[in-house]
Amino acid sequence: MLKLRKVELVGFKSFCEKTHLTFSGTGLSCIIGPNGCGKSNIVDAVSWVLGEQSHKTLRAERMADCIFNGTAKRPPMGLAEVTLTLVDTELAEAARRVLGESQAATSPGEIAPDAGEGLPPFAEAAESAETTPVEIESGPTAFAGDKTSRKPRAAQRPAARPGEVVVGRRLYRSGQSDYLINGRAARLRDIQELFMGIGLGPDSYAIIEQGRIGQVLSSKPSDRRAIIDEAAGITKYKTKKRLAEAKLESSKVNLSRVNDIFVEVEKQLASLKRQASKARRYVEVREQMRTLLRIVLASKARRLELETDRLALRLAELTEMETKQSQSLAELEAEQERLDRRVYELDAELRQNQNLIGQAALELDRAENRILFNRQRQEELAERGRQLASEREQAAAQLAHVESRVAAQDAIVARLQEEAARWEAVVGELAARSSELSAISHSAEARIAESRRRIQEFDQALARIQDAQAQAEQLLAHHSGALERVEKSEQALLEESLHYREGSQAADLRWQGATERARLLERSVADAQQRLANYRGDQAEVASRCDALRDSLAAVRARRHALGQVLSDRSYSTETVQKLFAANGQGAARNFRAVGLLADYAEVEPQYETAVEQFLRDELEYVVVETFDHARAGIALLREEFGGRATFFVDSLRNLDLGEQEVVAPFPQESGVSRLDRLVEFRNPLGPAAKQFLPRLRSAFLVEEPEVAERLARENPSYIFLTPDGTCYHGRAVTGGRPTEAGPLATKRELRALDAEASRLEGTLAELQSAAERLESERQQAERSLEEMTLERVEAGKKVVAATLERDQARAELARLSTELAACQSDVQHLRRDAHAAKQKAEHAIVEREAILKGREAAECDMAEATALISEVRLSAQAHHDEVAVKRAEQATMTERLSGATAISMRIRQEREELVARLSSLSAQQATIQAEEADLVIRSQEQRLQMESLRTEREHRERQKADLEREWNQVRLRTSEVDNALRGGRQTLSELREDRSRQEVERARNDAEREHLRAACLNELNANPEDLMAEQDALLEGDDLAASEVQYQDLKSRAEAMGPVNMMALEEYNECEQRFSFLERERADLLQSIADTQQTIGELDQISRQKFEEAFAIINSHFAAAFQTLFGGGTGQMRLSEPDSSGEAGIDIATQPPGKRLQNVLLLSGGEKALAALALLIAVFRYQPSPFCILDEVDAPLDETNVGRFAQMLAEMSADAQFIVVTHNRRTMEMASVLYGVTMQEPGVSKLVSVNWEQARSSASHAA
C-alpha cells in the first residue's frame, strides 16, 4: 500500500532552510506548535506539490507569496521547492509509465500542449503551474521555426530507490514553475494522472485544511458527490470521459470541415472532369490548327517573299527615273532663276527710267509755270506803281492845307491862354484873402472849443485825482498789513518744504532700487519662462520623435518577426517540404534529420536575386541532410505518411575535392553575359563544391538584354540564358512571369536589413530617451527656478508698489507745498508792488491837482480873447465872400474857351502827322516794287534756259525706255517657256514620286505582313518562316490558300467557341480524384472514430455508475456506523438528490443526533457539523483508504468528549493507515506515536523538532 515516507521543504513560505519530515509509514503523527509558527504551511506544501493551483487555497494573495519573502536578518529567496517521497511498487511502475507517455507526447524542449487539466497552456502559465524544463541547455530544434531550442536535462537530485516515487515542485520568482517525478521534468497533467483514483486527485479527501471540515457539509450536493466519486475511483473515468467528449467534439468539428471540403472537392471533381474532356478536344483541334497553320503560313511567307522582290525591282526603276527627272528640273530651275533675276533688273531699270522721265516733265511744267507767274507779277507791280504815284500826289496836297490850319489855330490858343492867366491871378488873390479870414475865424472857434474842453477835463481830472488820492491812501494801509502776514506764512512754508524735499529724495532712491530689482527679476522670469517653454518644446519634439521611432521600431520588429517566422516555418517552400521539417523533431525514431534547405546556404547579390530565385526555384527547395541514410529515411517518410516528392542534398559530400569545373561545353564570352554559377555562392558547410551537383546552375548564363538572350538561345540551344527579370531562354522554350511572393533569398536579405534597421532605431531611441530624461531634469530645475524667481518677483513688486506709493505721497506733498510757497511768494511780491504803487499814486495825485488848477485858470483867459477876435473876423469875411463869387464865374467862362481851342489844335496836328507817315510809306512801296520787277526779269531768263535742258533729257530717257521694254518682252517670253517646261517636269516628277511612295507603302505593308507573319510563326509554332518554307514541299496559292485559311478560321472558331480551356485540367483532375479518395477515407475514419468514442463514453458512464452505486451504498453504511460512534448514538444517512443539468444526482445528508429529531445537516450546531463531516470522511476513508491522510486542526470545534472519541477512532484506523494531524489538543497528541514540533525562534523563520514517543518510552523503560 502507498505510504508517505518523507516531506522536504526549502524556501516554502516560512521554511527558508531545508527541512525534512520523515514518517514511518503507519500510525498517527502529530504536528504541534503555537499559533502562527507555520504548522499549516506544511499542509499547504503537500497540497501545493500535489498540483494545487489556487493561491487562495494556499492562503496567499499570489503564487509568488509561497516563496520565502525574507526577514530583517535573512534576504528573500529566489525559489521554493517541496518534495514528497512515497513508497509503493505499483505507483513506481505507474510513474515510469506516465513519464514514458509524457515523453512520447512532448518532445524534448517542447512545452506540453495540455499542461493542466481543463486549462489551456497559457492559463496554466499564468498560474505559474506550467511544466518547463528544470535546466536549459542548447540542443537541436523541436519546432520548425526555432533557431535555438531548450532541452530538459535530468535534475541534479539523487535517483529514487526501487519502489519509491519522488514528486517535487519548484517555483521561481519569475513565475516559472517546474514539476518533477523521480528527478525528471513532468507536466501537471502527469502529476494528476499519477495520483488520480487513489484518493490524491484534485478533489482529494486525504488533505483537510483549516476550515474545510465545515465546508464538506455546507457545500453543494454536487460538491459532496465529488468526494464519493474520488473514493469510488471514478474520477479517472470522468477525466477520460471529458477527454473522450473533447475528442468527440473535435472529431465532429473535423467531420464538419471534412464534409464541407468533401462536398467542395466533389463539385470540383465534376467540374474538372468536364474541363479535362474539353481540354482533350481542344488539344485535338489545336493540333489540326497547327498542321494547317504551318502550310498556310509557309505559303503566305513565299508569296510575301516574291512580292518583296517585285517591289524592290520596281522601286529601283522608279528611283533611277526620278533621279534623271530631278536633274532636268534642276537645270530648268537654274535658267528660270537667271531669267527671273533679269526680269527683276529690267523692271527696276524701267521704273527708274520712267521716274526720271516723269521728273523731267514735272520740272519742265514747273519752269513754264514760273515764267508765266513772273510775267503776271510784273504786270501787277506796274499797276501798283502807278497807283502809288497817284496816292503820293494827293497826300502832299492834303499836307500843305493842314500846315496852314495848324498855324492859325496856334495863334488863337496863345491869346486865350494869356486871358486865362490874368483871371486866374485875380481869383487867386481873392481866394487867399478869403482863406486867411476863414483860418482866423476857425482858429478862434477852435481856441474857444479847446478852452471849454480843457476846463471840463480839468474839472473831471481834479475830481478823479482827489478820489484816487483817497483810495491810494486806504490801499497803502491795507497792503502793508497783508504784506506782514504773508511774509510770516512764506517763512513757515519754506521750512516745511525743505523737510518734505529731503523725504522725497529718500523715497525716490528707494523706488529706483525696488524698480530696478523688479525689472531684473521680470527679465529673469521671462528668460526662465522662455527656457521652460524651450524645454517643453524640446520635450514634446523628443517625445514625438520617440513615439515615431517606437512605431517604426514596432513595425520593423513585427516585419522582422513575420519574416523570421516565414523563414523558420519555411512557408515559401512546398507543402511536402514543410511536412518533412515538421517531422524533423521525430528524427530519432525515424532516422531522419534535416539540416536545412539549400536556400538557407545560398548567397546572391541583390540585383541577381529575382533571376536566381525564379530559375533555381526547385533547387533552392532541396532538403539538406547529413547522410544518405537520412535521405532514405525522408523518402520513406514521404512514401509512407505524407505523400509528395522532394529532393535531398547530402551534406557529407562536401569534403570531396572536386575543384571548380567549367560549364558543359566551351562558350564564347561576350560583353553583358555572366556565368550564373559565379554569381551564386554557398556558405559553409556546403561551400563552392555544392555547385558541381547543380547542372542547371553550371549551364546557365545571365544576360542583360532580352534580345541578346533570344539570339544566344537560338545559337546555343544547349545553354540556358536568364535576364535580370527572371525570364529564361532555353532553345525554343521561354519561361517567365511574376512570382506570387518574395523568395527565400530576398526574404533573408530583407531580414538582414531589418536587423540593421532595428539596431539603428534602438540606438536612436536610447539616445532620444536619454535626451528626454536630461530634458526632464533640466525642465524640473527650470520650473523650480521659475517658481523661486516668481516669488521673488512678487515680493519685489510689492516693494515697488510700496515705494511708489511713498514716493508719490512725498512728491504730492512737496508739490502742494511748492504751489503754496509759490503762491505766497507771488502774493508778497504783488503786495509789495501794490503798496509802492499806492504810495506813488497818492504823491502823484497831489502834484497833478495843483497842475490842474493852474491849467484851468489859463484856459479861461484864452477862451475870453478868442471870443472877441471871432466877432471882428466874421464881418470882414462876409464882404469879401461876395466879390470872390463874381470873379470866379468870369474865370470859368474863359477856361472853357481855352479848352476848346486847345482840342482843335491837337486834332489838326494829328492829321498832319498821319499825312507825313503816309507819304513815307508810299515812297518805300515804290522802291520795293521797282526792285522786285528787276528780279523777276532775271529769273524768267534762267527758267527759259532750264526748260531747254529738260526737253533734251526727256527725249533721251524715252529712247532708253523703248530699248528696255523690247528686252523685257523677250525675257518674259523665254520665262513663260521655261515655266511651262518646269510645270511639265514637276508633274512628271510628282507622278514618279507618288508611284514610288505607293511602292514603298506596298513594301512597308509587305514588310509589316512579313514581320507579323514571323511573329505569328514564332508565337503559334515557335518557328521561323524560313524553316516552315523549307519543311513544306508543295506550297499553296490562290484559291487553295484562301480555302486553307477559311478552314483554319473554322477550326479557330471551334476552339474559341469552346471558351476558356484549363490546360492543367487533366493533371488537376487526377490530383483532385486522389484528394477525393483521401477525403472519403478520412471521412470514414472520422465517422468510425465518432462511433468508437461514443461507445467509449457509454462504457465509461456505465462503469462510473456501477462504481458510484457500489461506493455510495458501502460509504453510506460506514457513515451511519461512524456517526453513531462519534455522536454516541443517533442516526446519519446520505441520500441522492435530483439530478442537475449534467445528469448526475447530488448527495444530501440527513442526521439525527441522540435526543433530537431527524433534520438536515445544515441545521446542526458547529460542533455537530464537524462531527458529522468527520463521520463522512471516516466512512470514505474506510471504503477507500488514501495513502495518507492529513488533518489540519479538524478537532478544534470539538469538545473534550468528542475529541476523545475522534482520537480513539483515529488510533484504531492508524493501524492500517497513515494519519498526520495538526492539532493543539492534548488528547489527540496522546494518541500520536511521533510528535513534530514547529517553532519560530527567529521571527518569520520556522524550524522543526521531532520526538518519537515509542523510542522515548522504550528508552525510559530500559533506563528504569
Which long-range CB contacts under 8 A does 882-890 form with residues at least 24 apart? 883/430, 884/427, 884/430, 884/431, 884/434, 887/423, 887/426, 887/427, 887/430, 888/427, 890/423
- d(C-alpha 1149, C-alpha 1116), whole Å: 10
> What's the pLDDT band for 1258 if we cut at 50, 70, 90?
low
Flag whether pLDDT at 1103 surpasses 90.
no
Cell numbers 529712247 correspond to 959
Q: For 196-248, write each residue's pLDDT tens digit.
A: 767 676 567 778 876 676 666 666 777 777 777 777 777 777 778 888 888 88
Closest CA to 1158 of 1124, 1122, 1129, 1130: 1130
| Residues 238-263, mean pLDDT to the nearest whole number | 84
pLDDT score for 1161: 67
Q: Examine the pLDDT at 632 and tell me if it is beyond 70.
A: yes
Query: Reading across the β-sheet that carries 648-650, which strands appear in turn?
Result: 594-597, 623-625, 648-650
| CA 466 – CA 454 distance, rounded (Å) | 18
- Which burial class, exposed, middle or buried, applies to 1137 when counting CB atoms under 10 A from its CB (0-12, 13-18, 19+)? middle
User: Are the beta carbons of 826 and 436 closer than 8 angstroms?
Assistant: no
Per-residue pLDDT tens over the stretch 123-138: 333 333 333 333 323 3
**pLDDT exceeds cutoff 90 at 1144:** no
Question: What's the whole-number mean pLDDT along residues 500-523?
Answer: 81
Compute the Cα dihedral for 420, 426, 429, 431 and give only its sign.
negative
- Across the chain, mean pLDDT equals 77
Q: pLDDT digit string (tens) for 28-54?
A: 889 999 988 988 899 889 889 888 888
- Residues 524-533: what's their mean pLDDT? 83
Alpha-carbon span 1264 to 1254, nearest angstrom: 15
Main-chain phi, psi angles of 912, to 5 degrees: -65, -40
What residue type is assigned to position 370 of the chain? R
pLDDT for 83 equals: 94
**Residues written for the chain:** 1264
CA distance 124 to 122: 5
**% of the chain residues with pLDDT over 70:** 86
Query: Mind listing the pLDDT tens digit for each residue in 401-434?
Result: 777 777 777 777 777 777 777 777 777 777 777 6
pLDDT band for 636, please (50, 70, 90 cuts): confident
Q: How confident is the model at residue 183 (pLDDT cuts 50, 70, 90)?
A: confident
Q: What is the tens place of the pLDDT at every residue in 425-468?
A: 777 777 777 677 777 777 777 777 777 777 777 777 777 776 67
The per-residue pLDDT for 117 is 37
Alpha helices in 1128-1225 (DSSP H): 1166-1183, 1200-1213
Q: Quickly list DSSP for 414-458.
A: HHHHHHHHHHHHHHHHHHHHHHHHHHHHHHHHHHHHHHHHHHHHH
Q: Which pLDDT score, from 0 to 100, does residue 153 have?
A: 40
* Predicted local confidence at residue 577, as pLDDT: 76
Cα–Cα dist 386/296, whole Å: 126
DSSP character at residue 607: G
Contact between 122 and 130 (Cβ < 8 Å): no
Report whether 150 contacts 139 (CB < 8 A).
yes
What proportion of the chain, given as a percentage, has pLDDT over 90? 3
The grid coordinates of residue 644 equal 509528395
Angstrom distance (rounded) from CA 194 to CA 128: 20
Residue 133 is predicted with a pLDDT of: 31
Give the Cα-Cα-Cα angle 283, 286, 288 (nearest 5 degrees).
115
pLDDT for 282: 80
Phi and psi (nearest 5°) for 1139?
-60, 145
Name the band, by pLDDT with cuts 50, 70 and 90, for residue 369.
confident
Residue with cell 535534475: 155
1094 vs 670: which has the higher pLDDT: 1094
pLDDT value, residue 757: 85
Residue 1160 Cα distances to 226, 516, 563, 1148, 1163, angstroms: 20, 94, 67, 8, 6
> How many other CB atoms sit within 10 Å of the CB of residue 1021?
17
- At position 250, the amino acid (one-letter code) is S
**What is the value of pTM for the model shown?**
0.38
Q: Which of 184-193, 473-482, 864-873, 888-897 has the highest mean pLDDT?
A: 184-193
Q: How many Å apart are CA 191 and CA 194, to the nearest integer?
A: 5
- How far apart (Å, rounded) are the C-alpha atoms in residues 559 and 554? 8
Residue 492 has what pLDDT? Answer: 74
Cα 587 versus chain centre, distance:
51
- Of 122-136, 371-385, 852-866, the least confident: 122-136
Give the cell for residue 801: 508698489
Q: What angle do CA 1081, 1086, 1088 make, to 5 degrees?
A: 95
Helices 221-232 and 1166-1183 cross at an angle (nearest 10°) of 30
CB 758 within 8 A of CB 553: yes
| pLDDT value at 399 more than 60 | yes
- Give the separation between CA 511 and CA 1036, rounded to whole angstroms: 124
Q: Say how many C-beta atoms besides its own lie within 10 A of residue 149's C-beta.
A: 18
**Domain ranges across the chain:** 573-740
Cα gap 174→172, rounded to integer Å: 5
Q: Give the per-residue pLDDT at 147.
A: 35
Q: pLDDT class for 146, splitting at 50, 70, 90?
A: very low
Q: Is the peptide bond before 685 cis (omega within 30 degrees of 0)?
A: yes
How high is the pLDDT of residue 128? 34
Phi/psi region, residue 27 (left: phi>0; alpha: psi -120 to 50; beta: rest), is left
**143-152, 261-270, 910-919: segment of lowest average pLDDT:** 143-152
Q: Which three cell numbers stand for residue 451?
A: 478852452
Quick one: pLDDT at residue 874?
65
For residue 1063, what is its C-alpha cell?
A: 490546360
In terms of pLDDT, which residue wins out, 722 or 798?
722
pLDDT of 12 reads: 92
Q: Which residues pair with residue 29 across a beta bridge?
A: 1220, 1234
Mean per-residue pLDDT for 849-858? 75
CB burial string 236-255: b at 16+ within 10 A, e below: bbbbbbeebeebbeebeebb
For 700-744, give the DSSP string. Answer: EEEESSHHHHHHHHHH-TTSEEE-TTS-EEETTEEE----SS--H
d(CA 699, CA 719): 5
Interatomic CA distance for residues 458 and 852, integer angstroms = 6
Residue 131 pLDDT: 33
Rounded average pLDDT over 1093-1106: 87
- Distances 904 to 400, 854, 892, 898, 918 between C-alpha atoms, Å: 18, 70, 19, 10, 22
pLDDT of residue 1261: 60
Higher model confidence: residue 587 or residue 59? Answer: 59
Residue with cell 445537516: 1161
Q: Closest Cα partner for 1241 from 53, 68, 71?
A: 71
The x, y and z cell numbers of residue 459, run together, are 474839472
pLDDT band for 601, please (50, 70, 90 cuts). confident
With contact defined as beta carbons under 8 Å apart, do 679 and 700 qualify?
no
**How many alpha carbons fall within 13 Å on the CB side of residue 1228?**
25
Choose between 112 and 58: higher pLDDT.
58
Beta-carbon neighbour count of residue 663 at 10 Å?
Answer: 17
Q: In this structure, are residues 1161 and 1174 in contact, taking their beta carbons and an 8 Å threshold?
A: no
Dihedral sign of CA atoms 791, 793, 798, 802 in order: positive
> Which pLDDT band holds residue 545 (cuts at 50, 70, 90)?
confident
Residue 8: is its pLDDT beyond 90?
yes
Contact 1197, 6 (CB under 8 A): no
Residue 168 pLDDT more than 90? Answer: yes
One DSSP character per residue, 841-865 reads HHHHHHHHHHHHHHHHHHHHHHHHH
| HSE, side-chain direction, 13 A CA sphere, residue 260 | 5
Helix (H, G, I), strand (E, B) or coil at 618: coil
Terminal alpha carbon distance of the chain: 38
